[in-house]
């Protein structure tokens, strides 16, 4: 009812608020904020149609720095608040800002259930593999053996593989990106926005204070070619500047030198193929495989939760509600006392 | 024709008890409905077993339905039974203590064979049908299964299906005994089994056979008549508390012209509100069955943020989980209705039994200084009005409102003088629309009632951020300023206190400030207390009665009403909760009447406690 048809143009600058950004200098969150601010004006919507909803954690301060609608909720619950809003205001563009502690620990339940229901919204998961706001405890994505304040002789907690978890929860869009690559990030956010359904983007985000360099192996220019694999739909899986590739032996991925195989034998990325997506999410524990970045899986088949629910409401909508309500009250046997 | 004499009675309390698979609830509901349609005033109390499928024939498997019907106004389902219908030994064992001496006991004698006695843990030699322990009652033994099977023989049903008709046989007999027609139940059975005509007809045959059994045999020498009650004129229907709650919420949504969003998770005894509301999507009702209690309330907050009416329903354990989110709604100053259909606690407690032990949780059960509005319904039908008002207060004051009901009134039914929507007060939500916003929107700017105006996401030019961190007054920006925090805590408290300005003043239900003693109650104890007080007054004992519906804030004149009394009693189904409020706020040496047995008060218990205190 409040959405206007005529789009009001705005720029990235217009998205800045009067609130001072309070992340630590050098934090990866800045780059993410910039990238989101960069792409929003390109999406053909007015500023008032965007809503950012966050939980608790460093990343969850994000809404305060966006001059859109924003709600900073409680720990782990952003996806639930966002679901209630999206169901009842389906035209809004709803973004959930969350972290590894927020969504994979305390909010794990809402995370998986939101993905399975598939409301049309975008979840940006800032994964820094640490609890930053509470000053440095291991998180559900920290590696085994991690030394932190709460694990002084090493964590014995096995970490989540967030994308495998999401796929297991029947997510319809999963992607991975990194704070150090603005262009790639922006592409992922755009793709997330245009996907109808819940889009999950896992962002490798450096916490330079409590977990500096956690992702350096993927982001550092010299190591990146060997460790990061940038996915392109319908393109063979290549890395190390094309020198290396991956083939599928049945369902088993294998590393090969490209000179040893024909280009036609390589594993070709297919965003719509869930089996291949599953294989790609498993490039996680095995160190020999590079870490995939990009859109790993998209399914356009599943209807969105907000569409389904609103369809039920619209298809049964009662024109004269007051009249129908009266009939409802008198629908059971009633009697007159004279 | 019948030669039985007809004896007129003022009222009857009847209890049906049997195995949970015996259709006891349906039988009781039918008798209640038929009597209500006839014009009796009624009150019902279903008593469910805690287990879904407890072993057949055992004590935990006993299901009961109590009905009080009368030619006088009825306020409770009654203390003791005039009639007990016991379908097996376990049902008799569980209920016989409540049967009045001289009362009518109808038993299915086949429910007392060796097996049933063993299941009910009764020694063969202690069989109550033969050991003389029932001599104080008028006992009618009927071979119910055999007679029922005979009656439905023409329909060639399987053994089980045939046996299932026995509740209708016994209902037919009761209809005859209380001089009621069977047409309403025939119509019901025809509707209920419209897809299976054979079953419908078999049940109807059993019903008729039971009726004629009374007519043709000589086992009953007399039958009874309870005349129509002389209650307020108008159109009535029967309603239970959960239905009334659902209708109240729905009515408020229609009246406010806003979508209703129910974010909830199934829990006994609140789930029926979800069941009812999920039938009514066409009224713009979003029913969201979430993955847990927390998601339910958080989604409701999200919907409120979007300009819908956010509601969450639960019982004590679920409310405990929602606590942090209720604090968030308090900080955001968004409307939110939280329905707590209380049950016995703590922890899982007594899921199917009633209690009023969540009052202090409702008032104080959150971190930080976090007052919310708390109101309580006092009877099944009153849930309609109170749920409606919960929405009205939440929307007009941008606050969370806790609506308290409990298992007793949630499942209990009574006639309801239907309140049409036009007769309910209007609801005026506090939203600001986009076009007036030339100046910068200040989310925490307040009106004279300290209520903020809400800008719904999507509105042009009103972009803003809110959250659970402390807000700066007016702007809503994050603020850690010490004085600002104190100011905001006081503002939020004052805002809730100011709701009292719009509430009706408290009145005496009975007596006045010159009475010798004052009894105070809240919530579902209304019926028992009111009945007890009016009986005492008839006996010449001058008792004043106050029944509180608005607990936070309390009505403004409550202190004034309480001050003159030296003797004050507070009756609650808990270990003493409201009493603390009365003692602390009004410095009165109030005494408690407390019961914590998972059961409502009996009238006699209240009467005796008052007499003792005099
Ligand atoms: S603690 Fe880490 S994640 Fe948090 S703001 Fe500082 S650098 Fe960023």
**Among candidate residues B376, B390, B358, the one with its CA nearest the CA of residue B524:** B376
Report which ligand 1 atom has the smallest distance to the Cα of A128. Answer: 3
- Let me know whether B74 and B205 are in one domain: yes
Identify whether residues B209 and B125 lie together within a single domain. yes
Chain A residue numbers touching B305 (CB-CB < 8 A) = 71, 81, 84-85
Cβ–Cβ < 8 Å for B412, B380: yes
Kindly provide the ipTM of the predicted complex, given to two decimals: 0.97
Same domain, yes or no: B152 and B247: no
* Chain A contact for B56 (CB, 8 A cutoff): no
- CATH of residue B245's domain is 3.40.50.970
Task: Provide the number of structural domains found in chain B.
Answer: 3
Summarize the confidence of residues B81-107 as an average pLDDT. Answer: 96
Judgement on whether residues B221 and B280 belong to the same structural domain of the protein: no
- Give the residue among B349, B25, B38, B305 at the shortest CA–CA distance from B179: B38
Query: From the list B286, B332, B433, which residue is nearest A313 (CB)?
Result: B286
Query: From the alpha carbon of A211, which atom of ligand 1 is closest?
Result: 2
Q: Is residue B231 part of a domain?
A: no
Whole-number Cα distances in Å, A4 to B49, B443, B457, B461: 55, 21, 12, 11
Selected residues 272-331 of chain B with any CB under 8 Å from a CB in chain A: 280-286, 288, 290-292, 294-296, 298-308, 310, 324-325, 327-328
Count of other CB atoms within 10 angstroms of residue B427: 22
Report d(CA A38, CA A258) in Å as an integer: 37
Residues A284 and A292: their CA atoms lie apart, in Å, by: 9
- B298, B465, B469 member nearest A84 (Cβ): B298
Pinpoint the alpha helices (H) of B344-434: 359-364, 382-397, 407-411
| Same-domain check for residues B215 and B259 | no
Statement to judge: residues B48 and B197 lie in one domain: yes
Q: Which of A20, A21, A22, A24, when mutated, tests ligand 1's pocket best, judged by the most ligand atoms within 8 Å of its CB?
A: A24
- Mutate-to-test residue for ligand 1 from A102, A131, A210, A211, highest number of ligand atoms within 8 A of CB: A210
For residue A3, the model assigns a pLDDT of: 45
CB atoms within 10 A of CB B197: 11
CA A249, A254, A260, A264 dihedral sign is positive
Pick the residue of A5, A86, A88, A110 with the most B CBs within 10 A to test the interface with B by mutation. Answer: A88
Distance A26 CA to ligand 1 centre (A): 8
Cβ-Cβ contacts under 8 Å, A66 against chain B: 465
Contact B283 A324 (CB under 8 A): yes
Domain CATH for B200:
3.40.920.10
Q: What is the pLDDT of residue B50?
A: 73
Q: CB distance from A324 to chain B under 8 Å?
A: yes
User: Which residue in chain B has the smallest CA separation from A56?
Assistant: B468
Domain identity same for B264 and B404: yes
Name chain A contacts of B309, Cβ cutoff 8 Å.
none
Residue B385 pLDDT more than 50? yes
For helices A78-88 and A305-315, give the axis angle rounded to 10 degrees.
40
- Same domain? For B248 and B220 the reply is no
Q: Is the model more confident about B474 or about B438?
A: B474
Question: Does residue B27 carry a pLDDT above 70?
Answer: yes
Asked whether residue B216 falls in the same domain as residue B268, the answer is: no
Mean pLDDT of B16-42: 93
Is B416 inside any structural domain? yes
Contact between A70 and B465 using a beta-carbon 8 Å cutoff: yes
Residue B218 falls inside a structural domain: yes
The domain over range A13-219 is classified in CATH as 3.40.50.300: no
pLDDT of res. A153: 97
Residues B382 and B389 sit within 8 Å (Cβ to Cβ): no
Q: Which of A178, A149, A186, A200 is nearest to A12 (CA)?
A: A186
Block residue for tokens 């029944």: B547
* Domain range for B396: 237-423
Counting DSSP H helices and E strands in chain A, the numbers are 11, 12
> Measuring CA to CA, how many Å separate B75 from each of B133, B329, B412, B536, B552?
32, 37, 11, 15, 25
| B442 within a domain of the structure (yes/no) | no
User: How far apart, in whole angstroms, are the C-alpha atoms of residue B444 and residue B435?
Assistant: 19
Q: For chains A and B, what is the number of CB pairs under 8 angstroms?
A: 210
Q: Does pLDDT of B589 surpass 60? A: yes
User: Within 13 Å and on the Cβ side, how many CA atoms surround A141?
Assistant: 28
**Angstrom distance (rounded) from CA A23 to CA A38:** 19
pLDDT 10s digits, B484-528: 999 999 999 999 999 999 999 999 999 999 999 999 999 999 999
Q: Residue ranges of chain A with pLDDT lower than 70?
A: 1-6, 332
Q: How far apart are CA B406 and CA B345, in angstroms?
A: 12
A234–chain B nearest CA distance, Å: 37
Q: Is A132 in the pocket of ligand 1 (CB under 6 A)?
A: yes
* Domain end residue (candidates: B379, B406, B423): B423
The confidence score (pLDDT) of residue A335 equals 83
Nearest CA in chain A to B468: A73
B472 within a domain of the structure (yes/no):
no
Residue among A290, A138, A164, A121 at smallest CA distance from A217: A290
Q: What string of DSSP letters covers B264-276?
A: E---TTTHHHHHH
Residue B142 token pair: 């009927």
| Residue B438, pLDDT score | 64
Q: Within this chain, do residues B143 and B257 fall inside the same structural domain, yes or no?
A: no
Q: Which residue among A22, A208, A212 has the greatest number of ligand 1 atoms within 8 angstroms of its CB, and so is best to mutate?
A: A208
Q: Is A98 on the interface with B (CB under 8 A)?
A: no
Chain position carrying tokens 């090493």:
A154
Beta bridge partners of B594: B572
Query: Percentage of chain B with pLDDT > 70?
Result: 99
Q: Spell out the domain ranges in chain A.
A: 13-219
Q: Are B242 and B383 in contact (CB under 8 A)?
A: yes
Q: Which two three-digit tokens encode residue A148?
A: 């932190």
Handedness of CA B323, B328, B331, B333 (dihedral sign): negative
Q: CA-to-CA distance for B351 and B268, rounded, in angstroms?
A: 6
- Residue B438 located in a structural domain: no
Q: What is the pLDDT of residue A1?
A: 39
Cα B5 to Cα B224: distance, rounded to the nearest angstrom: 8
Cα nearest neighbour of A3 on chain B? B458
List the structure tokens of B489: 């805590």
Are B284 and B368 in a shared domain?
yes
Query: A62 to chain B: which residues are within 8 Å by CB?
Result: none
User: How many beta carbons lie within 10 A of that of residue B589, not counting itself?
Assistant: 9
Say if the Cβ atoms of B281 and A86 lie within 8 Å: no
Give the nearest partner residue to A77 out of B39, B325, B457, using CB atoms.
Answer: B325
Handedness of CA B277, B280, B284, B288 (dihedral sign): positive
Q: Summarize pLDDT for B282-304 with one digit per residue, the tens.
A: 999 999 999 999 999 999 999 99
User: For all residues of chain B together, what is the average pLDDT?
Assistant: 95
Residue B486 lies inside a defined structural domain of this protein: no
Q: Are B215 and B282 in a shared domain?
A: no
Query: Cα–Cα distance between A267 and A256 in angstroms, integer?
Result: 11
E strands, B306-355, are 309-314, 336-342
* Cβ pair A119, A306 in contact under 8 A: yes
Can you give the pLDDT at residue B291?
A: 98
Q: For residue B434, what pLDDT is reported? A: 66
Q: What is the atom index within ligand 1 of the atom nearest the CA of A205?
A: 3
Residue that finishes a domain, picked among B226, B259, B277: B226
Among B398, B423, B448, where does a domain finish? Answer: B423
Is the previous residue joined to B346 through a cis bond, with omega within 30 degrees of 0? yes
Is the minimum distance from the CB of A214 to ligand 1 under 6 angstroms?
A: no
Across B59-82, average pLDDT: 94
Q: Which two tokens stand for residue B359?
A: 């009052």
**Sequence-separated (6 or more) residues with CB below 8 Å from residue A252:** none
User: Are the beta carbons of B313 and B322 closer than 8 angstroms?
Assistant: no
C-alpha A48 – ligand 1 centre gap (Å): 29
């Amino acid at each position: 009812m409040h959405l206007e048809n005529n789009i009001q143009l705005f720029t990235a600058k217009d998205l800045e608020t009067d609130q001072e950004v309070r992340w630590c200098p050098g934090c990866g969150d800045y780059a993410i904020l910039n990238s989101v601010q960069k792409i929003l004006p390109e999406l053909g919507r007015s500023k008032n149609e965007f809503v950012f909803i966050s939980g608790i954690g460093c990343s969850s301060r994000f809404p305060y720095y966006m001059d859109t609608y924003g709600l900073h909720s409680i720990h782990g619950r952003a996806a639930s608040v966002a679901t209630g809003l999206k169901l009842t205001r389906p035209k809004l563009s709803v973004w959930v800002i969350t972290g590894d502690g927020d969504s994979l620990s305390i909010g794990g339940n809402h995370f998986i259930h939101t993905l399975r229901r598939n409301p049309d919204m975008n979840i940006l998961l800032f994964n820094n593999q640490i609890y930053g706001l509470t000053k440095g405890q291991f998180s559900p994505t920290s590696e085994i053996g991690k030394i932190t304040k709460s694990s002084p002789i090493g964590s014995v907690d096995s970490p989540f593989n967030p994308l495998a978890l999401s796929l297991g929860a029947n997510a319809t869009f999963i992607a991975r990106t990194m704070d150090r690559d603005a262009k790639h990030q922006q592409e992922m956010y755009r793709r997330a926005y245009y996907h109808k359904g819940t889009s999950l983007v896992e962002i490798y985000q450096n916490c330079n204070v409590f977990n500096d360099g956690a992702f350096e192996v993927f982001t550092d220019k010299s190591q990146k070619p060997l460790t990061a694999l940038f996915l392109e739909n319908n393109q063979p899986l290549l890395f190390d500047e094309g020198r290396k590739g991956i083939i599928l032996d049945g369902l088993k991925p294998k590393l090969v030198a490209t000179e040893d195989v024909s280009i036609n034998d390589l594993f070709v990325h297919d965003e719509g193929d869930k089996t291949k997506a599953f294989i790609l999410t498993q490039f996680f524990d095995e160190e020999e495989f590079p870490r995939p970045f990009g859109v790993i899986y998209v399914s356009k088949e599943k209807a969105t939760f907000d569409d389904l629910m609103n369809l039920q409401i619209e298809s049964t909508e009662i024109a004269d509600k007051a009249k129908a309500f009266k009939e409802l009250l008198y629908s059971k046997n009633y009697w007159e006392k004279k | 024709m019948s030669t039985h004499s007809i004896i007129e009675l003022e009222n009857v309390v009847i209890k049906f008890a049997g195995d949970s698979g015996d259709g006891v609830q349906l039988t009781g509901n039918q008798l209640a409905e038929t009597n209500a349609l006839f014009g009796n005033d009624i009150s019902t109390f279903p008593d469910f077993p805690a287990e879904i499928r407890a072993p057949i024939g055992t004590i935990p498997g006993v299901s009961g339905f109590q009905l009080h019907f009368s030619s006088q106004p009825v306020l409770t389902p009654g203390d003791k039974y005039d009639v007990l219908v016991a379908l097996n030994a376990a049902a008799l064992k569980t209920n016989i203590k409540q049967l009045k001496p001289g009362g009518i006991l109808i038993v299915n004698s086949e429910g007392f064979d060796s097996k049933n006695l063993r299941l009910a843990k009764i020694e063969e030699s202690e069989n109550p049908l033969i050991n003389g322990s029932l001599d104080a009652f008028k006992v009618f033994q009927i071979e119910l299964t055999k007679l029922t099977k005979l009656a439905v023989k023409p329909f060639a049903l399987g053994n089980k299906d045939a046996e299932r008709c026995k509740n209708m046989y016994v209902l037919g007999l009761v209809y005859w005994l209380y001089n009621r027609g069977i047409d309403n139940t025939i119509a019901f059975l025809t509707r209920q089994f419209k897809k299976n005509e054979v079953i419908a007809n078999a049940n109807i045959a059993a019903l008729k056979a039971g009726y004629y059994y009374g007519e043709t045999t000589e086992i009953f020498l007399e039958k009874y008549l309870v005349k129509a009650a002389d209650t307020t004129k108008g159109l009535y229907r029967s309603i239970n508390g959960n239905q009334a709650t659902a209708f109240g919420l729905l009515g408020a949504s229609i009246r406010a012209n806003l979508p209703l969003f129910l974010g909830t998770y199934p829990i006994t005894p609140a789930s029926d509100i979800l069941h009812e509301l999920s039938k009514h999507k066409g009224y713009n009702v979003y029913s969201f069955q979430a993955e847990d209690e927390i998601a339910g309330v958080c989604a409701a907050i999200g919907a409120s943020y979007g300009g819908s009416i956010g509601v969450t329903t639960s019982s004590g354990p679920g409310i405990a989980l929602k606590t942090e989110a209720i604090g968030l709604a308090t900080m955001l100053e968004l409307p939110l209705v939280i329905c707590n259909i209380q049950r016995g606690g703590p922890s899982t407690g007594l899921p199917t039994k009633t209690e009023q032990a969540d009052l202090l949780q409702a008032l104080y059960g959150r971190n930080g200084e976090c007052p919310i509005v708390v109101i309580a319904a006092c009877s099944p039908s009153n849930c309609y009005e109170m749920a409606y008002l919960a929405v009205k207060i939440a929307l007009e004051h941008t606050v969370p409102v806790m609506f308290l009901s409990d298992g007793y009134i949630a499942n209990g039914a009574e006639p309801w003088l239907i309140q049409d929507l036009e007769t309910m007060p209007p609801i005026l939500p506090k939203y600001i629309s986009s076009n007036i916003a030339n100046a910068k929107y200040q989310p925490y700017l307040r009106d004279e009632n300290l209520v903020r105006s809400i800008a719904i996401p999507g509105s042009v030019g009103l972009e803003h951020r809110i959250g659970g961190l402390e807000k700066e007054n007016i702007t809503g920006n994050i603020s850690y300023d010490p004085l600002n925090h104190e100011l905001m805590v006081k503002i939020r408290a004052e805002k809730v206190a100011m709701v009292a300005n719009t509430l009706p003043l408290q009145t005496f239900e009975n007596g006045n400030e010159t009475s010798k003693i004052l009894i105070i109650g809240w919530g579902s104890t209304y019926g028992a207390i009111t009945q007890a007080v009016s009986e005492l007054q008839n006996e010449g004992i001058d008792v004043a009665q106050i029944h509180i519906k608005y607990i936070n804030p309390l009505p403004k004149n409550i202190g004034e009403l309480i001050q003159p009394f030296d003797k004050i009693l507070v009756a609650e189904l808990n270990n003493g909760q409201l009493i603390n409020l009365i003692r602390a706020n009004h410095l009165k040496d109030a005494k408690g009447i407390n019961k914590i047995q998972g059961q409502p008060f009996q009238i006699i218990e209240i009467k005796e406690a008052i007499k003792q205190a005099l």
